[in-house]
Amino acid sequence: MSISIEEHLSPGRCQVTAMASVGSDLYIGTTWGCIVVAEGTTMRPVTVFRPFEEEVKAILPLLPRKPSDSKDPSSSQNTDCIPYIATVGKGYRNLIGRYASINAPALLQDNMFLLLWRADNWASA
């Protein structure tokens, strides 16, 4: 249940199934349930994680709305909105289950899941 290099990789597990660009980052989903975050200009990987058991079906950018031009002082407080991404894939991989003894019900393995992620600060500058 890891994405370590010791696992048997095959061409079928390494195919790109979804892709989206948010800001300066590129998000890439694979047939093995991995999401690769890479620098958009250099394609240098920033991080890789595997939240799904199987294929990543979609990666959707959820960009913040631009603040309105209203005179409301409270609307100026949220000028630096954080973008999010939504990922859709089959089979949720419970991170806590890797460190604690719990039974993974079939519900987590056989269904489609939508996960929301903050699309900022993947690596320290």
* pLDDT number for residue 42: 94
The CA R_g of the chain, rounded to the nearest whole Å, is 17
The distance between the two most distant Cα atoms of the chain, rounded to a whole number of Å, is 59
- Torsion on CA atoms 44, 50, 56, 59, rounded to nearest 10: -60
Q: 27: Cβ–Cβ under 8 A, 6 or more apart, which residues? A: 18, 19, 20, 21, 35, 36, 37, 59, 85, 87, 119
**CA end-to-end span of the chain, whole Å?**
30
* pLDDT number for residue 54: 92
* pLDDT number for residue 96: 76
Under DSSP, the state recorded for 99 is T
Q: For 73-114, how does the pLDDT look when each residue is reduced to its tens digit (9 = 90+)?
A: 555 555 468 899 999 999 998 877 777 777 666 667 779 999
Instruction: Specify the higher pLDDT residue, 48 or 108.
Output: 48
